[in-house]
């Protein structure tokens, strides 16, 4: 429940507090969980082919258990031609040989269970691969057939159907329609693909598509997964008549287009799909969850997705895009908690994933990163790596103090930067090819992880070169080196996660500490823990209170009395009569 009022501050705080969110002890492991995203291609390569695999994940799961995360979300490992790094699925119920076999999956599941980790898999229901048997059948069948009706085929415009059916653009650049050659060799209909031309969109007006995905859900639930991250969950249903749309196909507010106006996003019929899926999950008990990758604005509209009978969680992209501006951060956090409290759902928080420039790189610029979202290359202004890493530590520490769930992206616990020096011929994101290199794409955040400094490829794999080159700094940032250094980024993450659990911050409350919220700092109280981030250029006097943890590990050890620029501290404010 949220209470929007100004309270009297507890003894150790002089000024007023504005309570936004009350503590939440509703049942549900996910409500306060820390979920770690594994990007299988780049996690750990055990078979030496240069690409990560499921056996590699299984081998390193103990490291994630040691980090003390609750669950692991795996990006797709299904059969796929890999035109969009596995988000182009040709068989939803099998493992791509690149990553292993179904038995490897079962071994990974068993190891996760042994370690007390839950596994969440990625579901890609908006589109499949053009190599999927259903799409191949559609190509072989005539216009108007049930096979074609699994997808969105339309006749073209113009005298001989030579123009696409409407003006929609692909998220990856270029038109969202591709014309096929009919089985008799004549130029034929067009099919819709909001992403790459190798990713045809399903027709969610067709009951057979619903039935197929219900089968897929049960297949993975039967194998023991704790739930699904639902890819582009806002896009499955298109507005009747496929009306023209002037914006970019991502309809993404960060690109200036409010999602709710786009005819390919946020359509009302989506909600019934997710209600049906929730009923299926409920057959497996109360612990299986759905998390929406739903880029929907504004936040109250996003809250509609996590009403009690729909999804359990949705990614909080407004938070990811809030940067380090205290006013913007405060308003996103307040709006998120207020909107989600209204439907009884927890918020989630995230700073990095496989689609955006890593936050250690984004924050290495004074001002916005160049071409944020489109990748950074050698010809762009370069980030200050050290500055980025220390601000990233502070931003993560601020985020992990917030009540709700948190998503971490593999390698952020090592403070990894993006790979910037990637030769063009190595770039694999379809965005790069479809825009003629104008947008570099997302390869930079997908560079394979460094595990052991002394091993080939910093321990990613002992065989072929990694599918993307690792920056030189990866060796010094390898996990084993950091594990041995008390002041490392990794050890800070371990301590943050340990304390977050001990202090039950995920289940806690949030009240803004008004006197510490300025143009250059942001602070809140969660239970008896004050979280303060210095977002300005000058140091701040550390307020009274017992320092629990600070993001600058050297300051931690020196006992410095000032909070430096770009630093976060967790302070125990008072211990008696604490009210949440």
Q: Catalog residues that contact ligand BGC under the rule CB under 6 A.
A: 84, 87, 124, 195, 231-232, 293, 354-355
**What does the alpha-carbon distance between residue 426 and residue 466 come to, in Å, rounded to a whole number?**
10
CA distance 8 to 47: 60
> Which residue's C-beta sits nearest to ligand BGC?
87
Residue 233 beta carbon to ligand BGC: minimum distance, rounded to whole angstroms: 9
Q: Per-residue DSSP letters for 491-544?
A: HHHHHHHHHHHHTTGGG--EEEEGGG-SSSEEEEEETTEEEEEE-SSS-EEPPS
Helix (H) or strand (E) holding 188: strand 187-192
Beta-carbon-side half-sphere exposure of residue 260 (alpha carbons within 13 Å) = 9
- Residue 559 CA to residue 550 CA, distance in Å, equals 10
Q: Closest approach of Cβ 37 to ligand BGC, in Å?
A: 10
Q: Report the distance separating Cα 441 and Cα 195, nearest Å.
A: 13
For residue 531, the surrounding DSSP H or E stretch is strand 529-534
Which class for 5: exposed (0-12), middle (13-18), buried (19 or more C-beta within 10 A)? exposed
**Is residue 283 annotated as a catalytic residue, yes or no?**
yes
DSSP 485: -
Burial class (CB in 10 A: 0-12, 13-18, 19+), 255: exposed
* Closer CB to ligand BGC, 195 or 245, in the complex: 195
CB of 439 to ligand BGC, least distance (A): 13
**Paired sense of beta strands 177-181 and 91-95, if any:** unpaired
DSSP-assigned beta bridge partners for residue 73: 37, 120
19 and 9 Cβ atoms separated by less than 8 Å? no
Task: Select 80 or 267, whichever has its Cβ closest to ligand BGC.
Answer: 80
Task: Tell me the C-alpha distance between 375 and 366, whole Å.
Answer: 17
Q: Report the nearest approach of ligand BGC to the CB of residue 340 (Å).
A: 21
CB of 184 closer than 8 Å to CB of 117:
no
CB 475 → ligand BGC: shortest distance, Å? 28
Give Cβ neighbours of residue 30 (< 8 Å, ≥ 6 apart): 70, 71, 227, 289, 291, 312, 313, 346, 405
Phi and psi at 69, nearest 5°, equal: -85, 165
User: Which of these, 378, 396, 409, lies nearest to 471 by C-alpha position?
Assistant: 378
Closer residue to ligand BGC in complex, CB, 119/356: 356
Minimum CB–partner distance for residue 146 and ligand BGC (Å):
25
Q: Give the residue with the Cβ less far from ligand BGC, 84 or 297.
A: 84
Q: Residue 515 Cβ, how far from ligand BGC at the closest point, in Å?
A: 40
As a whole number of angstroms, the distance between CA 238 and CA 253 comes to 18
Q: Which is nearer to ligand BGC, 249 or 397 (CB)?
A: 249
Instruction: Please write down the HEC assignment for all residues of 388-449.
Output: HHHHHHHHHHHHHCCCCEEEEECCHHHCCCCCCCCCHHHCCCHHHHHCCCCCCCCHHHHCCC
Nearer Cβ to ligand BGC (232/406): 232
Please answer whether residues 543 and 571 qualify as being in contact, where contact means their C-beta atoms are separated by less than 8 angstroms: yes
Smallest distance from ligand BGC to CB 126, Å: 7
- Between 22 and 134, CB nearer to ligand BGC: 134
Catalytic residue among 70, 84, 111, 231: 231
> Please, are residues 389 and 17 in contact by the beta-carbon 8 Å criterion?
no
Taking the complex as a whole, the smallest distance from the CB of residue 204 to ligand BGC amounts, in Å, to: 15
The distance of Cα 452 from the centroid of its chain, to the nearest Å, equals 26
Helix (H) or strand (E) holding 230: strand 227-230
Q: Which is nearer to ligand BGC, 68 or 355 (CB)?
A: 355
Q: Tokens 């570099």 correspond to what residue? A: 440
Nearest to ligand BGC of 234, 457 (CB atom): 234
235 and 202 Cβ atoms separated by less than 8 Å: no
Q: Which residue number, 260 or 494, has a Cβ lying nearer to ligand BGC?
A: 260
Question: In degrees to the nearest 10, what's the CA dihedral of 320, 324, 327, 329?
Answer: 30
**Cβ-based nearer residue to ligand BGC, 249 or 303:** 249
Catalytic residue among 159, 207, 222, 283: 283
| Active-site residue flag, 231 | yes
Least gap, CB of 52 to ligand BGC (angstroms): 16
DSSP 381: P
218, 280 in Cβ contact below 8 A? yes
Q: Smallest gap, in angstroms, from Cβ of residue 168 to ligand BGC?
A: 15
Q: Which residues are catalytic?
A: 231, 283
């Amino acid at each position: 429940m949220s209470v929007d009022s100004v309270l009297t501050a507890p003894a150790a705080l002089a000024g007023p507090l504005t309570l936004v969110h009350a503590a939440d002890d509703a049942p549900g492991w996910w409500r306060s969980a820390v979920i770690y995203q594994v990007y299988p291609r780049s996690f750990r390569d055990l078979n030496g082919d240069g690409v990560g695999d499921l056996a590699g994940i299984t081998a390193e799961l103990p490291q994630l258990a040691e980090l003390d995360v609750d669950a692991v979300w795996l990006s797709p490992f299904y059969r796929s031609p890999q035109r969009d790094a596995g988000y182009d699925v040709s068989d939803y119920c099998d493992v791509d040989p690149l990553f292993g076999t179904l038995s490897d999956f079962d071994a990974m599941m068993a190891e996760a269970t042994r370690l007390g980790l839950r596994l969440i898999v990625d579901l890609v229901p908006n589109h499949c691969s053009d190599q999927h048997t259903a799409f191949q059948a559609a190509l072989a069948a005539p216009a108007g057939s049930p096979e074609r009706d699994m997808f969105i085929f339309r006749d073209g415009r113009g005298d001989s159907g030579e123009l696409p059916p409407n003006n929609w653009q692909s998220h990856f650049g270029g038109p969202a329609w591709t014309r096929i050659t009919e089985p008799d060799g004549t130029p034929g209909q067009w099919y819709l693909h909001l992403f790459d031309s190798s990713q045809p969109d399903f027709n969610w007006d067709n009951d057979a598509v619903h039935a197929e995905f219900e089968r897929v859900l049960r297949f993975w639930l039967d194998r023991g997964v704790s739930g699904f991250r639902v890819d582009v969950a806002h896009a499955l249903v298109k507005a009747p008549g496929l009306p023209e749309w002037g914006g970019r196909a991502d309809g993404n507010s960060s690109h200036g287009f409010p999602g709710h106006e786009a005819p390919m996003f946020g359509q009302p019929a989506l909600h019934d799909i997710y209600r049906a899926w929730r009923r299926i999950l409920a057959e497996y008990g109360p612990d299986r969850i759905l998390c929406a990758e739903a880029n929907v604005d504004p936040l109250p509209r996003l809250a509609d997705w996590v009403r009690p009978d729909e999804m359990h969680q949705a990614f909080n992209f407004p938070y990811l895009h809030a940067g380090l501006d205290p006013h913007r951060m405060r308003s996103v956090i307040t709006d998120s908690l207020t909107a989600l409290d209204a439907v009884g759902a927890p918020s989630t928080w995230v700073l990095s994933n496989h689609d955006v420039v890593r936050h250690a790189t984004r924050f290495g610029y004074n001002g916005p990163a160049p071409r944020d979202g489109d990748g950074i290359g050698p010809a762009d202004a370069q980030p200050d790596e050290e500055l980025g890493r220390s601000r990233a530590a502070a931003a993560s520490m601020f985020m992990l103090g917030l009540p709700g769930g948190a998503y971490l992206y593999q390698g952020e616990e090592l403070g990894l930067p993006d790979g910037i020096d990637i030769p063009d011929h190595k770039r694999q994101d379809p965005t790069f090819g479809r825009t003629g290199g104008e947008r570099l794409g997302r390869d930079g955040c997908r560079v394979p992880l460094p595990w052991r400094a002394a091993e080939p490829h910093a321990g990613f794999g002992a065989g072929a070169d990694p599918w993307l080159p690792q920056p030189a700094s990866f060796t010094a940032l390898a996990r084993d080196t950091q594990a041995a250094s008390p002041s490392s980024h990794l050890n800070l993450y371990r301590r943050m996660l340990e304390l977050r659990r001990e202090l039950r911050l995920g289940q806690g409350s949030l009240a803004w500490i008004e006197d510490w919220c300025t143009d250059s700092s942001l602070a809140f109280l969660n239970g008896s823990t004050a979280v303060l981030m210095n977002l300005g250029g000058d140091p701040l006097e550390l307020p009274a209170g017992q320092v629990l943890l600070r993001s600058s590990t050297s300051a931690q050890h020196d006992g410095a009395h000032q909070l430096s620029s770009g630093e976060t501290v967790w302070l125990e404010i008072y211990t008696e009569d604490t009210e949440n």
